[in-house]
Every structure is written in C-alpha cells, then in structure tokens.
Amino acid sequence: MDKLSSSLRIGEKIGIGFALVGLLLAGVIWHYHQTLRSVVDDYQQLQRIFEVRKSLAVEIEIEMAAARDAEKSFLLLHQERFAEAVDRHLQAMHEKVGALAKVDQQSQQTAAQLQALMTVYQQRFAAVAEAWRAMGLDENSGIQGAFRQKIHRLHELSAQYNVDRLLTVLLQIRRSEKDLALRQEATYRDRVRRLVAEFRQHLEASELPPAVRQKLLAELATYSRSFETYAESALRPGYSGGGRGPFRDAAQRIEAILHSHYVPELETNVLKLRRREKDFLLRGDESYPPMVVEIARTIRAQIGDSALAETDKAQLLALLRDYQRSFLVLVSQRASIVALTAEMNAAADQVAPLIEANVAQANETMSSRARAIDEDAQASVRLGLIVTASTLLLAVVLALGITARIVRPVRHMAGVLDDLAYGTPTGHVPTVPGGRNEINAMGESLNALLDHRASFLGWWKASMDELIARRAVLGSESEAERDEAILELRAASIVKVQKLNAIRGRLLQHAHAMVDTGRRLSAAGSLPARDGKALEHSAQAIESLLDVLAVEDEAPRAAAGTATGQADAGSAGA
C-alpha cells in the first residue's frame, strides 16, 4: 500500500480521492434511479396489466348485466329491439373478452372460458328469440297471429248468429199480442207497439247480414200493419177471432228467419274461448289448454245442433278447427320456449359466476400487487438509505485514508526537521525507492540531507580526531604515550578512510544510475544518441576515477608509520 501511495503524486491522490467519492455518489444516484425506475415500472405494469384487467372485468360484467336486462325485456315485451340490444351487448362483451385475453396468460385462460360460455348463452338466446318469432312477437304475427285471425273471424260470424235479444223481444211481442186477445185492453196494444219499435232498434243494431236484416224489416213492417188492423178488431166488444190473422203468419216467418241464423250462446262461448286463451298466454298455466279444447267441443256441438245452413255450419266448423289446431301448436311452441329459456338461463347462470370471479380475482390481484409494490418500494428506500450511509462512510474512510497518507509523512518529516534544527536526528524518513510522490521525494531529499550532514560531521570529527592524534604523537614524551597516540592516529585514519569509501560508494551508485538513465533516454529517444552517449561516457569515466581513488584500510597504517618516523626524527634532533 505504501509503494502504491508513493507512486502517486499528491494531485493524483487528491484527484483519485475525488474521483472515488464521485464514483460512490454516482453509484448512489444510479441506485436511486434504478429504484425509482423499478417502482415506476411496477406501477406502470400495475396500470397496464392489472388495472386494465380490472377495468375490462367490470366492463364485461356491466355488458352482461345489460344483456340480461335486454333479454328479460324481450321475454316480457316481445319487441325486436330488445333482441337486437342483447346481440349488441354480447358483441361488445366478445370484444372486451378478446381484449382481456391479450392482457396476460391468466386472463387468457379466463377469456377462453368466458368466450365458450358466452357463445352457448348467445346460441340459446338466439333459439329462444327465434321460437318467440315463430310464436309471434305480437298478436298479429306468427302462430299467435294465425289463430287470432281465425278466432276473430269466428267471433265476427258468431255475432251474426247472436239473435237471442231479438228472439226474446219477439216472444214478448207474441205474449202481449195474446194478452190483447184475452183481455182486450189497449195497454197490451201499446206494449206491442213499443216492443215492435224496440225490436226494430235491435235489428238495425245487430250484425246480421244486410239481406237478412232487410228481410226481417220487411216482415216486421207487414206484422206491424196487420197487427194494427187486428188490434182495432180485438178492442171492439164481442170480438171472437181467436188471435189469428196475417200478423200471426208474419211473426212466424220472423221467428223462422231468426232460428235459421241462431246458435244458442255461440258468441258467449266464443268469448269464453278467448278468455281461456288469454289466461294461458298471460300465465302459461297448463290447465287452460284443456279448457279451450272443451269449450271448442261445446261450440262444435252447438253448431252441429243448430238450424244453420250446411255451408254456414261448414264455415264455422272450419274456422273453429283451424283455431284449435293453431292454438295447440302455440301451446307446444310455448312449452318449447319454456325449455329453451331454462337452457338459456342455465347458460347465463354459468357466465355470471365466472364474470364475478374474474372481477373478484382482478380486484384481489391488483390489491396484492399494489401491496407488493409498496413493500418493494419500502425495502428499496431502506436499501437506498443503507447504500447512502455506506457510501458516505466509505467516502469518509477514503478521505481519511488519503489524508493520512499525505499528512503522516509530512508530520514525520516535521519531526525530523525539528530534530535537525534543535537536536541530533535519530532516524530517517521512510521512503519508497522510485516513488513519484512529492512527499516521498521530499523525504528522499531530507534523508539525503541527513546523510550529507552525518557524513560531514563524521568527516569533520574523523579529521579532528586524526589531527589530535598527530599532535599527540608529536607531543609524546615517552614510548608508551607515543604508542598510544599512534594507535589513536591509526584508528582515526581508518575511520576517515571508511567515510571516504562510503562517499565513494554513493558516488559510484550515482554514476551507475547516470549510465542506466543515459541508456534508457537514448533507447526511448528522449535525447539525441550523441548526447546520450556523451552522458554515458561521462558516467563511465566517473566510475573509473572512483575505482582508481579507492583507498584501502592499509593506507591509514602507512600514514601512521610515517607519522611515527617523523616523531622519531624530531626526538633525535632534539
């Protein structure tokens, strides 16, 4: 780590520190944006899938409810526009189910089930609608319209044979006529006149054929005229005519005409027939068709027993037969409609739970997904806080580490310089050879300064020791003092030589470094080849000179011997 730190300059360390802190902050920002994007993507997915699924499920449910409402309106009112509304809502449901199938795999399975059930429901409703069209959507169409035409015609004809009131009035006329003959009172004549006028009113208001009405009116006029003649005679005292005359013959002809167009209670029974028919159409009770058949049998017997012409009987019986046949077909068709409606309701009952389950499933899925997104968002927030705190802590650690790498050597150098200024340095500043760090370079320079100071002080001390030893040798008075001084001189000389060898060794290292540097610069092309060679040769010459100037440890001994000889010569002279 120290080697790596020393290979970087202070500016590079600071730049790398800021870069690392910036990378950490960029990582925090990237994590924040990734978290934000993840949350946004989750909510977009929630909106795109689950919200769409819920919306489509609710729309399908609404369309199905609208289709069922239109279906019930059709079954109740039998109007074609409600059948078209059912088809329209079902078509809209098919489109929404198709859109639901495109949401996701689960929705696709639900949509496939819905499509199958909706198809069955649509087919059953189409069958019910077609059955109602065959039966008749109103009283004038289908089977219902066919037998209605028959019964209306039968009712119209039955009105022509409804002469009960005319017969009743005619009988009242004949009774009053008899009373006049018996009692010979004018009140009976007046009553006959009043009943004749009433008979004429009923005749004119009746639905008898016009020819029959004219014939009856003519006979009634004949009766009225002849009765007046008879009444004048009957009111005279002593009348004994027995109540006979042309008026009697006219009354009998009128009665014969009425009987020839009379079926007892025909119109009443036809109305009863219509009543039971309406009861069945309204309630659908199976007890009413047998009643209709029984009333038709009664009417048939009445027509057969009547005095009508055979052609009239045949017409009435044919209308009654066609009506009964059409009514029984309608009864059968209604039974078929009931069965088809039950099948349609069964199909609809299968669709509705699936739609409700789809809506409930969409709501539950959306709620669970929203909860999961909220939990993920909270976890992402917590993770973001942890990452941010870790990043800040790591940034602080990096800042402290880089600062320590810068401050610690500076503090160490400050201590060394303080020792250098006020005391004796006891150590060197730790450095890394070849380091590019400015502080490392300062440390190397300071170490060199300390070495130079130590070398200078050592050289100076050695020189002073040698000088003192020489003076001691020269000033010795006895042999023992001289030998001791010679030993001290020899030791001082050895120390001096060692100092010189140390300096030479360092200079030799510098020379070797100069040679290597010159070669590298020449190889790199940073210097011209000539300058590089000149630098290399100069360094090699310095190396050679340093080799020549090498001093052996014997030199101090020789110098000591010389000093001894000089001392002896001085003694002899003295």
- 88 has a pLDDT exceeding 90: yes
- Helix 310-422 to helix 266-283 angle (10° resolution) is 10
- 556 has a pLDDT exceeding 70: no
Residues 6+ apart with CB under 8 A from 314: none
Longest dimension (CA), the chain: 241
Comparing C-alpha atoms, which of 177, 262, 191, 190 is closest to residue 223?
Answer: 177
Question: How confident is the model at residue 46, as a pLDDT?
Answer: 59
CB count in 10 Å sphere of residue 427: 11
pLDDT, tens only, 132-179:
888 887 777 788 777 677 777 777 777 767 777 888 888 888 888 888
Question: How confident is the model at residue 69, as a pLDDT?
Answer: 93
pLDDT > 70: percent of the chain: 83
d(CA 475, CA 488): 14
Q: Give the highest mean pLDDT range of 79-88, 165-174, 324-333, 477-486.
A: 79-88
pLDDT, tens only, 172-219:
888 888 888 788 888 988 998 999 999 899 888 887 888 888 988 898
Question: How confident is the model at residue 573, as a pLDDT?
Answer: 41
Confidence of residue 85 (pLDDT cuts 50, 70, 90): very high
d(CA 385, CA 392): 10
d(CA 11, CA 439): 11
- Average pLDDT estimate for 39-64: 75
Q: Using a CB cutoff of 8 Å and minimum separation of 24, what contacts does 309-312 make?
A: 309/260, 312/157
Lowest mean per-residue pLDDT among 94-103, 157-166, 352-361, 556-565: 556-565
- CA dihedral over 335, 337, 342, 346, signed as positive or negative: positive
- Average pLDDT estimate for 227-247: 75
**Residue 530 burial (C-beta neighbours within 10 Å; 0-12, 13-18, 19+):** exposed
If one compares 531 and 393, the residue with the highest pLDDT of the two is 393
Residue 265 region by backbone torsions, left for phi larger than 0, else alpha for psi between -120 and 50, else beta = left
Assess contact for 536 and 515: CB atoms under 8 A.
yes
Comparing C-alpha atoms, which of 243, 256, 241, 240 is closest to residue 189?
Answer: 243
- 356 has a pLDDT exceeding 80: no
Residues 6+ apart with CB under 8 A from 383: 31, 35
Residue 550, CA distances (Å) to 219, 500, 507 in order: 186, 9, 12
Domain positions in the chain are 7-136+338-388, 162-235+244-262, 438-573
If one compares 209 and 245, the residue with the highest pLDDT of the two is 209
Question: How confident is the model at residue 571, as a pLDDT?
Answer: 43
Assess contact for 489 and 469: CB atoms under 8 A.
yes
Assess contact for 115 and 298: CB atoms under 8 A.
no
pLDDT, tens only, 387-443:
788 888 887 887 777 777 777 777 777 777 777 777 677 677 777 776 667 777 777
User: H-type helices in 184-245, by residue range?
Assistant: 186-205, 210-234
- 328 has a pLDDT exceeding 80: yes
Is the CATH number 3.90.660 carried by domain 438-573?
A: no
**Residue 193 carries which side chain, given as an amino acid letter?**
R
CATH class belonging to 7-136+338-388: mainly alpha
Average pLDDT, the chain: 78
Question: How confident is the model at residue 567, as a pLDDT?
Answer: 46
Question: How confident is the model at residue 16, as a pLDDT?
Answer: 76
d(CA 189, CA 174): 11
Confidence of residue 570 (pLDDT cuts 50, 70, 90): very low
Lowest mean per-residue pLDDT among 272-281, 390-399, 490-499: 490-499
Question: How confident is the model at residue 574, as a pLDDT?
Answer: 37
Comparing C-alpha atoms, which of 198, 190, 206 is closest to residue 171?
Answer: 198
Question: How confident is the model at residue 108, as a pLDDT?
Answer: 84
- 547 has a pLDDT exceeding 70: no
d(CA 170, CA 161): 16
